[in-house]
């Protein structure tokens, strides 16, 4: 079992290091890491992790900036990540933290770490313990900020 981690130099938080650390806490698996400049460079790097480095799942970590151009970039990157998943029949867990989700730098750093760590756990579950996610079906999970929780009536 091997998990690939791809992050960016554009991000203001070292999300890759956090992902590796969190994976190590939950599973003894091989980890391959690479860093690319920005989110639009993630899809091919993830595809190479799958095809050339035999990863069973990949985490794509990035931080779209706050202006419209960045949101466009993020959308394009996301489309590429979905395409790479369909081409390889392999999950790529997209962990994007938009800079404008947080009200200040402090919260941005906190949010990026928490979302990265929560999605690292999701990645481990998806490849090693898929039944654990079935148990969480319909529970309103979120990554980073608080969970929404199940809707009640």
Which of residues 23, 62, 117, 125 is near ligand RDL by CB under 6 A? 62
Asked whether position 80 contacts ligand RDL by CB under 6 A, the answer is no
Asked whether position 140 contacts ligand RDL by CB under 6 A, the answer is no
Indicate the residue among 27 and 115 with the shorter CB distance to ligand RDL: 115
Backbone angle region of 89, left / alpha / beta, with phi > 0 → left and psi within -120 to 50 → alpha = left
> Per-residue DSSP letters for 111-135?
HHHHHHHHHHHHHHHHHH-HHHHHH
Asked whether position 110 contacts ligand RDL by CB under 6 A, the answer is no
Residue 13 DSSP code: S
Residues making contact with ligand RDL (CB under 6 A): 8, 10, 37-41, 62-65, 69-70, 73, 93-94, 96, 98, 101, 115, 119, 142-144
């Amino acid at each position: 079992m091997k998990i690939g981690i791809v992050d960016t130099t554009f991000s203001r938080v070292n999300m890759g290091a956090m992902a590796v650390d969190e994976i190590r806490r939950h599973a003894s698996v091989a980890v391959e890491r690479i860093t690319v400049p920005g989110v639009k460079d993630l899809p091919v790097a993830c595809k190479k992790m799958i095809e050339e480095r035999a990863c069973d799942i990949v985490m794509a970590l990035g931080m779209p900036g706050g202006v419209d151009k960045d949101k466009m970039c993020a959308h394009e990157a996301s489309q590429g990540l979905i395409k790479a998943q369909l081409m390889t029949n392999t999950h790529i867990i997209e962990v994007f933290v938009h800079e404008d989700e947080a009200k200040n730098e402090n919260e941005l750093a906190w949010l990026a770490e928490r979302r990265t760590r929560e999605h690292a756990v999701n990645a481990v579950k998806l490849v090693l313990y898929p039944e654990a996610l079935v148990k969480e079906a319909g529970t309103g999970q979120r990554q980073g900020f608080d969970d929404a929780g199940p809707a009640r009536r």
